[in-house]
Amino acid sequence: MSTIQQFSRSEITKENPRFSPFKVLVESAFYGNHVRSVQNIQEAYEMAKNAPGTVVTDMLIKHAKDLGLAEDTKILVNNDGAIVGRTAAARVIVTEPGIDREGYRRVLREAVYQATKQEFYKTEVVVGLDEEFMVRSHLMLPKGFEMNLYSYMLNFQLATQEWLDKYKQSKPYPENDIYIFANPEWSHPDFPNGLALFMPEANVAAILGLRYFGELKKATLTLAWATAHRNGFVACHGGMKQYHLPDKTFTMAAFGLSGSGKSTITLAKHHDENSKVEVLHDDAFVINRATGSTTALEPSYFDKVQDYPLTDDAVNYFLTCQNVGITLDEEGKKVLVLEDVRNGNGRTVKSRYVTPNRVDHLSEKIDAIFWIMKDNTLPPVIKINNPTLAAVFGLTLATKRSTAENLVGKVRRDQLVIEPYANPFRSYKLSEDYLAFRELFANQHTACYVLNTDEFNGKKVTKEVTLGSIEKIIAESGEFKPFGTIEDVEYLAIDGYPVDFEDKAYCERLKDRMETRLDFIRAQDHLKDGYHALPQETAELMRKIVNQLS
């Protein structure tokens, strides 16, 4: 069995590291008289369907029976208020330097006590869809948030008897089950933006004062990724797919923040009718550092709806929707208003059946990793031929914030930021991710490309250009040229996107952007008492690039 839920009485001692104060505090709440277990998905649907605020559309979902639901199951909608995205400012990792652990324990103890005055539900799911990596997760959520409970049970793999039998055969890990205590109705004057509190080593979290469903999904993934990281896996916030071509297979991963094009790239079909594309997932997976195999963490997709008109076939696979509109069609039936008309970051939990060739595990090593950036000094595609430099470019992945985030304070959404490996959910040292990816590139000979999905020299890089470039790479038909004087870097020659190193203004902009990356690397030495300090080689490599552009 993968993670530990039950203990012998002799193990239940203060000396056992499995029983940290945070773990005991959170898990204990699950056994109160005010908490009712919900494990049947049909029951969860009926509860969500009848909850105040839910809109029951007149749109049937496909494959309802396969999901354990009745044939007449309809898409359900619930909408939040002002906040329709994740709140990074609420996130606290108690293992990081300078954190008042006892202070946060007091806050959490009071939150758990106050919750005894409410009715709660709890449910259990499996995170990780192959016996190579499976973790059990428990969620506790108050009455009134039945839609989030139902969406959670759909987003992850519900712990049915079939899956629990499979789970019992999975590889064991010396880790606790995941426990997440959530109360969106909690408030505290010291935490006006809510509180997302994580104790990664104990596999527990408290999500307080935050209504957005994505907080529950990413909290679960945060702990599952940390568990995977501690046990020989690379934690990945990205998409993974495999092309089956007439003469070969090609396995690729694409890493990017929400809104970067990650899902578009992962779910895109191949133009060759004689080829097949298998999709692992578009958001969350782990890579076995020893073998290179990959495992998806979720069966469903939690996707933005901004690019979906109501007539898109994918809408048939929507299960629940969050923060979208409703109107009546010509027959007077309640239907969805998508494309972010109501607000930014409209979302859906979409079933696995939207991708006809969906798989949960790939045993083959990864042929190529694509870092997706929004950096207008880079052409649409560059190739990194040095394994260490490939890891450094992932470390300094430059992008822009999307509507998936609730920005707090004076933060501009169009401001360029660096988000290492496109993973804002890391709960361990940044250097550990860097070393894991460097090892992947060096030992498994994984190729590295950077995709700029923003604009280049004032011209938008369209999704057609990006997808066409990937197909050229797979077919080995693209022409790569030296990227100026930068060693070990080439760019893909694409009509309409010329690269002119005779243009001094362009070279200066490119140099400035590389200096921004260098500044980011150096800054890690001084942030959080150097907790995220990086090996010296990272700064040296980026400084070398800056010097080559001088």
The answer to whether residue 272 scores a pLDDT higher than 90 is no
In terms of domains, do 136 and 251 share one? no
Per-residue pLDDT at 275: 81
Question: The domain that contains 483 carries what CATH number?
Answer: 3.90.228.20
Domain count, the chain: 2
Q: What is the pLDDT of residues 202-229, one digit of tens each?
A: 999 999 999 999 999 999 999 999 999 9
Q: Are 132 and 156 in the same domain?
A: yes
What was the pLDDT predicted at 120?
A: 98
Q: Are residues 288 and 386 in the same domain?
A: yes
Q: Are residues 490 and 446 in the same domain?
A: yes
What span, in angstroms and rounded, lies between the C-alpha atoms of 9 and 453? Answer: 55
Q: Is 537 inside any structural domain?
A: no
Residue 82 resides in a domain: no
Domain membership of residue 492 (yes or no) is: yes
Distance CA 304, CA 263 (A): 9
Q: Are residues 155 and 258 in the same domain?
A: no
The pLDDT value recorded for residue 259 is: 78
Q: Is 496 left (phi over 0), alpha (psi -120 to 50) or beta?
A: left
> Residue 299: is its pLDDT beyond 60?
yes
Q: What is the rounded average pLDDT of the residues 492-502?
A: 95
- pLDDT of 310 > 90? The answer is yes
**Which residue among 459, 481, 499 closes a domain?**
499
Residue 274 lies in domain = 234-299+360-499
Residues facing 328 on adjacent strands:
334
Q: Of the ranges 355-364, 413-422, 489-498, which one carries the lowest mean pLDDT score? A: 413-422
Q: How far, in Å, CA of 187 to CA of 517, rounded?
A: 38
Residue 23 belongs to some domain of the structure? yes
The CATH number of the domain where 217 resides is what?
3.40.449.10
Same domain membership, residue 169 and residue 62: yes
Residues 253 and 180 in one domain: no
Instruction: Say if 280 falls within a structural domain.
Output: yes
Q: E strand or H helix at 161, and its extent?
A: helix 161-168
For residues 415 and 486, membership in a common domain is answered with yes
Same domain assignment for residues 249 and 281 = yes
- CA atoms within a 13 Å half-sphere pointing along the CA-CB vector of 536: 0
For residue 459, is it within any domain?
Answer: yes
Q: Are residues 386 and 253 in the same domain?
A: yes
Of the two residues 275 and 537, the one the predictor is more confident about is: 537
The pTM (predicted TM-score) of the whole model is 0.95
Q: Are residues 128 and 245 in the same domain?
A: no
Task: Please say which residue of 209, 231, 253 terminates a domain.
Answer: 231
Within a domain: residue 511? no
Residue-averaged pLDDT of the chain: 94
Residue 227: its pLDDT value, please?
A: 98
Q: Which pLDDT belongs to residue 356?
A: 87
Q: Is the pLDDT of residue 450 over 90?
A: yes
Q: Supply the DSSP string of 288-304, one letter for each residue.
A: ETTT--EEES-SSEEEE
472: Cβ–Cβ under 8 A, 6 or more apart, which residues?
Answer: 478, 492
Q: What is the dihedral of CA 356, 61, 296, 18, to 10 degrees?
A: -160
∠ CA 16-20-21 to the nearest 5 degrees? 135
CB neighbours of 527 closer than 8 A, spacing ≥ 6?
none
Together in a domain, 255 and 390: yes
Domain termination site, one of 458, 474, 499: 499
Share above pLDDT 90 across residues of the chain, in percent, rounded to a whole number? 89
Q: Is residue 315 part of a domain?
A: no
